[in-house]
Structures are given as structure tokens and as C-alpha cells.
Structure 1
Amino acid sequence: MPARTTSSTGRSDLIADAALVLLAERGMRGLTHRAVDEAAGLPQGSTSNHARTRQALLEAAVRRLAEREAQVLMPDGPPTEEYGDVDGVDGVLDGLSLALHRYLTAHRALLVCRYELALEATRRPELREFYDRAGAAFREPLVAMMRAAGSAEPERHALSVVAWCEGLMFSCAVGSYHASVPSRDELRKGFEELLRGMLGT
């Protein structure tokens, strides 16, 4: 159970983290203000005071999910335009394979949360807009990586990489390959086939 905290930021993170735990364990139906209070070890009504509506609670979960995904995928911060200049494609391959392997082996629950929230966003236009804004923070660094790798069409190639990653993550987290996570070397080989094929190298 998360430790109690008195700071406003700490309380917000505690509530949002508890919401993510519930989403992963119980799904969207299990996410209620009362359940978050219990999961976070907070007095009844604490979550309602922080996020008065369900929309506000969902936005808090999306925001926290984006923060935690960034810690997993980009622990050193987002890459810059110079990312990969030294190692070129190899540098991008190393970074992508490491990030994806880290996600699949140690943070599967975050993937389940993402799928729950993404599906809910298809039914809530106001959440869709918020969810898309949060996701944009990951798109721009990937475009920068594709540009650094020598792509003449970094936006289009970034979309292809995202589609490949999303399909693999879904299959390995909740799909037919959930019992078998590829090694980092296997992921790197898959990335290399995709990337070198797109770039013509």
C-alpha cells in the first residue's frame, strides 16, 4: 500500500498511482473514488476532494500514466535533434530495444492501464482530447530519432515504428504472446529489419 503523504503534489501522485493500480487489477469498472481512497490508504472522500468528477479522475490517471511511461521509456529525458549522431542507426536501435524490453519485462501493468484508458477515450470525446495531448509528448522525440537516423520522412517513419511497437506490446502484454517476451537482442533485430528496410540502408 502506498505511503501517506501530506504535500499537494505527493497527494496527487498517490491518488493517480492508486487509480492506475485499480485500472490494471480491476479494469475501468473497478475505478471509483471510494476504491481509490481504499487503495491509496486515504480517508474516505480524499479522492473526491482532489478529483470531483470521474472525468477529472480519468485525466489524473492519464497524466500520471504519461509521467510514468516517460520514466520507463525515456529515463534520461527525451532525445534531441542530435540523438544518434555518433552511432547513427545503431544508436537508435539500441535505445528503442532497451526501452521496449524494459517496458515489457518490468512494467506490463502500465500497458494494461494504457489500453483501458485508450478504450475509454473512444467513448469520451473530452478524454480523447486530453489523452491525445499526453501522447504527443512521445511522438516528437521519436520523430527526432528518425530524423537523426537519416530518415527523409521522419513523421511517416515514426508512425510505422509506433505501429510496430504497439502491435508487439499488445501481443506480448495481453495478446497471444503474453507468456513469451522477446529478449532485448530479438527486439533489436526486429527493429533493425524495420528501420533499415524503411531507410534503405
Structure 2
Amino acid sequence: MTDLEKMAAGELYWGFNPVFVPALERGQDYCHRYNLLPPSEKAARNNLLKEFFKKLGNQVIVNPPMHIDLGNLEVGDHTIINFNFVALDEALVSIGEHCFIGPNCSIYTVTHSLCYQDRDLGLMTALPVSIEDHCWLCGNVTVLPGVTIGKRSVIGAGSLVTKDIPAGVLAYGNPCRVIRPITENDREFLEGINKPTELV
């Protein structure tokens, strides 16, 4: 297998292989171009994201600056990604529909060896990250390789998510842990607004 194939398969690969340079430079170019576009050029921004991301839903907002390695992202409809988003997306990063990604959030799919001899050689692995529909990552959340965050869950500000989080819970901390389920008692409504149906 080539290093590109090993990376895609989640196997140990040589990350210093020059074959990765064009893809990383492409990602840097896309991010640079996107981050320089003025806020009024919404269509141009959206077109760049469509070219760069693996999949882009409808009415997605990404507030620059963003810093993304490869564009190996799938983002669902009506998702908002706030300022200073970082994605080391050597494996797939999947973000569902109606997600809120707070400012200064980082998603890492790639990890290095603990042993310096192997790390100095550039040995790496990459595992996908999935953030399911209707999730909210508050500001300064970091998600580590291989993690899945279940539907409707909320991750508190400053959390380091090291393992899977189930659906429908409030979780926070370093490392992040489940605090409690999110229940009907957490519902909040504006005066005069009809009570919405339960999210599914």
C-alpha cells in the first residue's frame, strides 16, 4: 500500500512523504483565499467551500479565519462554524446538520507516535471524527482522533474530547465526560413563539 492508501485506511504511514505536499499546499491556498474574502462576497465564499470541502450542505456558514489541511470535510445543512476553526483532516471529518461549532474549536484526526524515534521519522496515523446532527460545540473545544459525538449533544467550553460522547447529553471537562442527559426541562422558548416539535 502507498502512504496515501495507508492514511485513508487508518494505518501507520510516513507523513513526511513528499507525495502529501501538493495536497497540503492546496489546502493552504484555499484557506488563504477564503480568509481574505470580504464578508459581503457570500457567493464567492460559498463557491470556494464547495470546491474545497468533500461535501457542503445548504446554508452553511463558516466564519473566517479557518485553518484546514486537506478539505476532507463533510458538512451538513444549516451548520454554523465560527471563527478560528482548525481541522487536521487527514482522515474524514464529518459534521452533521444544524450543528453549532463555536469559536476556536479544533478537530484533529492525525496523531504522532509517542516514541521520539518514530515521531522524528514522521510516522503517523489518522482516524475519522464524526459530529452528528444538532450538536453544539462551545468555544475552545478540542476533539481528538477517532471520536464520535452523538446527535443533539452539547460539549461545554474548553473541553478536550478524548473518547466517544453518546447522543443527547451535556458533557464537558478535560478530559470531557458526560455530566447529564439533556431533557425536556432544558427547553427554552421565546414569548409568542409556538413550542417547536422535538428535534429528531
TM-score bracket for this pair, using the shorter chain length: under 0.3
Which has the larger helix fraction? Answer: 1
Q: TM-score, normalised by structure 1?
A: 0.26
Larger proportion of strand? 2
